[in-house]
Every structure is written in C-alpha cells, then in structure tokens.
A and B are shown apart, each in its own frame.
Chain A
C-alpha cells in the first residue's frame, strides 16, 4: 500500500519573502519550532495553519504543500 507524506516548499517561499523562521512565526503567532518542524516535514500542520502560512507568504496552500506517494 502506498505510504503518503506531506512535502512542502515552505523554506523557498519564506526566503523569497525575505523572512526568517522567527519572523514568520511571529507574524502567524506560533513558535519558531512549529515553523521549523513544518519545514522539515516533521510536523503536519492543520488546515488553519496551512492557510495562514499561505496567506502570510502571499501564495496558495497547493503551492506550499504537496503529497508524496512512497510505494512500498
């Protein structure tokens, strides 16, 4: 069965906007660790957080996140 993971382009979008993890975290109102773990695909954000990230980085959720299918 295919195992699905959530990939993201958060780091690229963040650096394009010229923001550090701390600055992005402050704008959204979460901890820097949250941003860091989302970027490293350690933590899967909620829909609300994904939408807030997309809005803050002036992009769409589909641009930021994508599904990786690992056929195992």
Chain B
C-alpha cells in the first residue's frame, strides 16, 4: 500500500503509471498539434508568399514585403517551438502493445491512405523511368543499367510495402496486422501472384512481337506487380466490415 507522499508507481519505461484513456487522450492532443503545425505552416507560407509577391509587383515597397514575408515565418517558427514543441511529442507509452491494439482501426485506416500514396508515387516513378530508360538504353547502356538498378531497388522497396501490409509502418506495429488483415493480405498476394504470372507471360509475348517494347513493358509489369495486390488489399479492407 502506498503511504502518503510516496511517489506514484512507474511503468517499465520509467514514467508514472497512467490509465490507457489518459495516454490515448494525450496521443490525440499530440496528433491535433501536429495537424495544427502542418496547416499553420501552409497558411504562413501562403501569407508570406503573398506579402513577398506584393512587394515584387510594387503594391508595397519590396523591402517591406521581404521583411514581413520573413517575419511571418519566424513568428510561426517561434510560436511552434515555444508553445507546441512539448505538445507535439506523443506519449512515451504510445508504442506499447496494449495501446497499439486499441488504435488498430485508426492505424489501419492511416495505412490504407499511405498505400494509395505509395501506388501514386510508384506510378509517377515508373512513368518517368520507363521513358528515360527506353531512350538511354539505345545511346548510353551503362547509364541505363545504373538507372534500371535504382528503379528495380525502388520497386522492390514498394514490393516490401505490399508484402508486409500495415505492419510496414514500423516493426513495433506488427500487432495491427490482426487476423483479418493477415487473411485479406494473403488473399491479395495470392491474386497478385497469379496476375504477375499472367503479366510475365504477356511481357514475353510483347517482346517477341516487338523487341523495342521490352524496357517500358517490363517497367510497367514491375509496377503492376506492386500496385495491383496493394490496391486490391486496400479495396478488400475498405469493403469488409463496413457495416455496424
């Protein structure tokens, strides 16, 4: 039993014991603070840009425009670091398994959004790289080999995203790959494997038909090998259990 004035019990991390509700509340405040910082930065950048632009077009003296443009960003920086820097930090218990388990739905939802962005990034990468490699391979084979190696490395990183699913966020987050996630991921990867085999067959036929198509077709096959199972998994996650 605790005597009066004795220190509060501490957890394994050396912090005072708190209830899960308090930890989740602090986490929510920290996430709100992060959003506030991001949105206020965007607002300040727009305001700062507007003031500098006003100076540039002569609406205000250029020196005044530059001064206020810089001052806006400095004020934002000071406000954030003096007022919000402590609030931004998530609670130290945020990555403990029991807390992560309570946040499964939010973390999975965040991962779905990330997965869609990963697919968009992969699309833009493939779009630019496939064209560049096609031109480089004819004139500068060594440079094309280097570019191709980087592209393959990036695509393999994307494939890891698809393979690990939500737990790709962080190895500590493996608890968010619950049974349903595992089952849906297995289904998506099974479909992805079949699709990949069809695509490799299609690529062979395309190259035989027109050898010049080899580079772009292979690039897009690699992209599809990542994008299709990832999007399929995201759709499966969205569709399942949406009822209450």
Contacts and interface: CB of A to CB of B under 8 A. Distances in A.
B240 A43 contact: yes
Interface string B132-153: 0000000000000000000000
B108 A43 contact: no
B31 interface: no
Interface residues of A, number: 19
A31 B244 contact: no
A43 B244 contact: no
A29 B108 contact: no
A58 B241 CA distance: 24
**Most A CB atoms within 10 A — which of B102, B175, B180, B183?**
B180
Given A33-B180, A34-B179, A42 B104 contact: no
B179 A36 contact: no
Interface in B92-133: 98, 101-102, 104-105, 108
Interface in A36-68: 36-37, 40, 42-43, 45-46, 49
B14 interface: no
Contacts of A33: 105, 108, 180, 237, 240-242
Nearest to B107: A31
A6 interface: no
A45 B179 contact: yes
A36 B244 CA distance: 7
Nearest to B176: A31
A21 B176 CA distance: 17
Contacts of A22: 105
A30 B179 contact: yes
Contacts of B72: none
Given A21-B244, A43-B240, A32 B105 contact: yes
B179 A46 contact: yes
A29 B102 CA distance: 6
A25 interface: yes
Given A30-B101, A33-B108, 20 more contacts: A25-B104, A26-B102, A30-B104, A31-B104, A31-B108, A31-B178, A31-B180, A31-B181, A33-B180, A33-B240, A33-B241, A36-B241, A37-B180, A37-B240, A37-B241, A40-B241, A40-B243, A43-B183, A43-B240, A45-B179
20 contacts: A26-B102, A29-B104, A30-B101, A31-B176, A31-B181, A31-B241, A32-B105, A33-B105, A33-B108, A34-B178, A36-B242, A36-B243, A37-B240, A40-B241, A40-B243, A43-B179, A43-B183, A43-B240, A46-B179, A49-B179
